[in-house]
Structure 1
Amino acid sequence: MFDVAIVGAGISGLICAQQLRQAGYRVVLMEKSRGLGGRVTTRRLQDTCADRGLSYLTPNGELTTRFVELLKSQDIVTVWTDTRHEFKADFGLKTVKGEPLYIAPNGMSAIARFLAKDLEVQLSRRVVGLNLFNDCWHLQFESSNTEVIAKAVVMAIPAPQALVLIESFAAPRVLDSLRKVEFSACISAIARYPTNTPLPSWRSLTVLDDDTLAWIGNDSSKRLGNTLPIFVFHSSAKFAQTYIDTEDLQPVGQLLLAKAAKLFPELANFDWLQCDRWRYAFPTVSLADHCLDARTPQPLFFCGDWCGGINLESAMRSGLAAAEQINQVLQPTLS
């Protein structure tokens, strides 16, 4: 029995959980994956690692600016570069100076682990049922006879995933709001190259107006003392839409790298390749409000980067807003 159950351990869910825990509520955080952070995640690779989702932080508001300063003070993030590169077929390679990009030398998942400190987290727990009984929410899980019972629930997951769980009982207004939210997908590939192979010197490259590639990053440049050349490739939304349901992503990743090799021939000869799919990578149509209230007899709220924006700033603000709404509802009943 918990005061609040939060579904989804991405940035919004972690922020919401920490706020409520610090306010004195008993909170449980449930995540369907084996790791924390949502797209803020890192893949371990032999003696090193690579960021397979979010590759860097760019402070774009008050909350993210303060958050980066906090992470810097804890030696979790540092400046990666303030020089970006862009590539477009009609003008080639272009250097762009701008605001610094921040990375975690130990992998971006270190950010999620920092946010999860002192939280009760249940990993590999996919919620498949949500029912209201005796003034409490009962959450059921895939391949498990156990359940979690809570007075309030926060769905900190993409709107299409939340919709599946609540469409049998939620009000039409709430269902319509969730259905309006749209996302673009992304397929990412991690490739290791032979040691001492001449490779591009840039760190972050945005590929403009391309049907296949969107971004290439020199991930090994983030790691202190790393000598293994590792690059990360992100597909365009159009490419991902075509291949997102492909069962075997390995040939899809090879298509990504084939396009990269056309632009930069030195990227052609890699040792190995690993791929990931992100079905809900980037919100393209979001809600105006920072969180969504289901207006059910017991508190049920939705939050995420798709509430009030489309980026990390909106994800953080949404998690805080959901925690504030939960506190306003539960505080009188708990006092």
Structure 2
Amino acid sequence: MNSIIFDVAVIGAGASGLTCAQQLQNAGYSVIVLDKSRGVGGRMATRRIAGTRADHGVRYLEPQGEKLQQLIQYLKTSEPLENQLQLWTNTLYEFKENQLQPSTISQPYYIIPSGMSTVGKILAQGLNIRLSSRVESLTITPENTWQCQIELSDNNTELPHTVTAKSLVIAIPAPQASILIADSNIAVEPNFLDSIKSVEYAPCITVIAGYSTAKQNNLPEWKAVNFSDDQILDWVGVDSSKRLNATQPIFVIQSNSNFAEQYLEASDLNAVAKKLIHQAANTLFPGLDTPEWIQVHRWRYAFCQKPLSVSCLTTIIPLPLVCAGDWCGGNKIESALKSGTQAAHWLQTQTHLLKNL
């Protein structure tokens, strides 16, 4: 790989990066995707636990937006059955002003029994992807190409520690992108970096909690509840209701941003999880207070609260570079898909640069 010069290197294997990579590869470009994680999908994340799976990132897909509707139609035909998108519910509940009631909005909410990370795996099919590969710095070579310096980890020590490409796509959360560019001392236009730094994210703490099989037949009628005015809760879902032939109740509890900001750096995450579980039990379902096991995950960049107004951020100084993600043009999956598509389109308009550098 050290001797290969790719047309495009994509940093980030979330929805935006994978969409961009697929578009470029289908157009005939040689593309490599780099991601620091052990799996693809970004916040479309599923954890294997206790012989089953639990979604601790993206909760579901809803048909809002052209790109997301196209993805939903595609996923409905995926094989096998556990990898197909399926209707989860038409009604979410709301807890507001101390009352639990069905939402006034009725629409289909879709899930995948094998987990929401399956969406990322399907988007990644056929791509050249290098996982467990955190890009720690960027340089410009004497041949006018991008060189990505890869941090070596225990499971990729035999792989090359650099990747070279004519153009670069950065499809990671804006704060991470700004740090990577600034620390690399790349001479981009000041307005370009300032735009990235203006983006703001809110964090979230997610708890996955498993319960006794004896409670499987005594679950609430609701599958998920949104909170608009709770001091610490944002969402509670019966995650096991997404699985085929589930035998153990599993709930996913997500905090609001204020609570996450307060406890994001806490050393004892189990104690933090117990606060969330206790609040959910007092508010919704007393049985939640006695889990058999719990796992906790911190999402530092869970929700984009202050996105850019453009679908992707581009520059040709010093070389073709485009930033993409849900923070470009919005803050949801539709924005990420659209951003990845627009990033690929912009790079294709730079074909003369890609082919002649």
- TM-score w.r.t. length of structure 1: 0.97
Matched, 1:267 2:288: yes
Shift of residue 328, structure 1, vs aligned partner: 1.1
Q: Counterpart in 1 of 2:63?
A: 59
What residue is the counterpart of 2:214 in the other structure?
A: 196
Of 94, 97, 106, which residue of structure 1 is paired with 2:101? 94
Query: Once the 2 structures are TM-superposed, how far is the Cα of residue 200 of structure 1 from its aligned partner?
Result: 1.9
Could you tell me how far apart the structure 1 residues matched to 2:351 and 2:290 are? 58
Please give the residue correspondences for 1:229-308 in structure 2 after superposition, counting only pairs within 5 Å.
Answer: 229-263=249-283, 264-308=285-329
Contact (CA 8 Å) 1:189, 1:234: kept in 2 or not?
yes
Shift of 1:297: 2.8
CA deviations on 1:111-160 (whole Å, 9 max, x unpaired) are 11100000011111010010111210010012367200000010000111
3-state secondary structure, aligned to 2:214: coil
SS in 2 for 1:73: coil
Deviations 1:193-245 (A, max 9, x none): 11122332210111221121000000000101111100001100100111112
User: Contact conserved, 1:199 with 1:266, CA < 8 A, in 2?
Assistant: no
The 3 A distance-change label for structure 1 pair 332 and 130 is closer
Q: CA deviation at 1:294?
A: 3.0
SS in 1 for 2:344: helix
Alignment of 1:1-16 (within 5 A): 1-16=5-20
Cα distance in 1 between the residues matched to 2:322 and 2:92:
38
Aligned counterparts of 2:330 and 2:310: Cα–Cα separation in 1 = 9
What amino acid is the match of 1:212? I
Q: C-alpha displacement at 1:55, in angstroms?
A: 1.1
Per the TM alignment, residue 251 of structure 1 is displaced from its structure 2 partner at its CA by: 1.3
Which one-letter code corresponds to 2:204 in the other structure?
C
Given that 2:146 and 2:168 are in contact with CA atoms closer than 8 Å, whether structure 1 keeps it comes out as yes
Assess if the C-alpha contact under 8 Å between 2:324 and 2:340 holds in 1. Answer: yes
**Pairing 1:142–2:151 present:** yes
- What residue in structure 2 maps to residue 121 of structure 1? 129
What amino acid does structure 1 have at the position aligned with 2:51? D
Q: Which amino acid is the alignment partner of residue 101 of structure 2?
A: K
CA contact 1:87–1:93 (8 Å) conserved in 2: yes
Match of 2:338 in 1: 317
- Please give the residue correspondences for 1:21-32 in structure 2 after superposition, counting only pairs within 5 Å: 21-32=25-36
Aligned equivalents of 1:118, 1:30: Cα separation in 2: 14
Instruction: Provide the rounded CA distance (Å) in 1 between the counterparts of 2:69 and 2:203.
Output: 27
How far apart in 1 are the matches of 2:354 and 2:151? 31
| Candidates 46, 49, 52, aligned match of 1:48 | 52
CA RMSD of aligned residues (A): 1.4
More strand per residue: 1
Residue type matched to 1:295 in 2? I
For each residue in 1:301-324, what CA deviation from the matched residue of structure 2 results, as whole angstroms up to 9, or x when unmatched?
A: 100000011111110000001001
Residue 171 of structure 1 deviates from its aligned partner by: 1.9
Cα distance between partner residues in 1 of 2:174 and 2:351: 24
Range moving further from structure 2, 305-314 or 94-103? 94-103
Match of 1:182 in 2: 200
- The superposition leaves residues 58-114 of structure 1 with CA deviations (integer Å, 9 ceiling, x where unpaired) of 1211111111011112252110000111112x3411012511100001101111110
Q: Does 1:106 align with 2:114?
A: yes
Partner of 2:138: 130
Letter in 2 for 1:40: M
Partner of 1:159: 174
Q: Give 2:150's aligned amino acid.
A: F
Shift of 1:333: 4.6
Identity %: 45
Local SS of the residue matching 1:18: helix
Superposed displacement of residue 272, structure 1: 0.5
Residues 1:118 and 1:331: Cα distance change in structure 2 (over 3 Å): farther
Secondary structure class of the residue paired with 1:301: strand
3-state secondary structure, aligned to 2:205: strand
Aligned-partner SS, 1:317: helix
For residue 295 of structure 1, report the CA deviation from its aligned partner: 3.1
